Structure 1
């Protein structure tokens, strides 16, 4: 099995999708997807982009060039926007105590803190006023 096919299969199974469901969403024939996942057919460049966009991972992850799933959008404008949101959050006097050392921390530690912030944002997404924190 090719790295691309194996990773695509793992991502598909993680989302509890059948090959037919994924093929329909990506816009390819399910027999093509079956051959890709089994390594009997290489993934075309346009297909790599479709899979990467659908699963929100990088093409490099699908190709086995990196083990970091990071989306293709993790760099550039999205990262700058997230960085600005994070810094606005930590500069809020109510939140700043917890993150007071962020701006003077080494970059590696800052990256860890941003990852924690992303996890917190994901957990809070969809929470309504009155909901218990951490529950959706």
Structure 2
């Protein structure tokens, strides 16, 4: 199921095996193993594939017929990425221990950063 779904997504998006392999940082032959059901990606690679094709990992694995993540699944994935990132997890761990004044300053700094991006 995984191999067929993967190939179908690639063909639908008019990508070559080399395109996907380059994104993943692997050889075309390594990627072809996934499509030919000769190997399975690790969790990190599975997540990268889901991001590349803009579908959920559950869709890739055949656990759902709905390609897109629900907003709750997306929120959970975003939180997991945040909480497990060593550079960002310090905020997740330390922020609840901070006083309200520090949290308020951080909010203001974040608003400035968001406005600078736009």
* TM-score normalised according to structure 1 size: 0.51
Which of 35, 51, 54 is the aligned partner of 2:52?
54
Q: Does 1:44 align with 2:34?
A: no
- Runs of 4+ with >3 A deviation: 76-79
Instruction: Please give the residue correspondences for 1:1-136 in structure 2 after superposition, counting only pairs within 5 Å.
Output: 3-71=1-69, 74-76=70-72
Does 1 or 2 have the higher relative contact order (CA < 8 Å, sep 6+)?
2
Identify the residue that residue 99 of structure 2 maps to in structure 1: none
* Higher share in helix: 2
* TM-score normalised according to structure 2 size: 0.58
Gaps of 5+ in 2: 76-118
**CA RMSD, 1 decimal:** 1.8
Structure 1 residue 78: Cα displacement: 6.6
Equivalent pairs counted in the alignment come to: 75
Gaps of 5+ in 1: 80-136
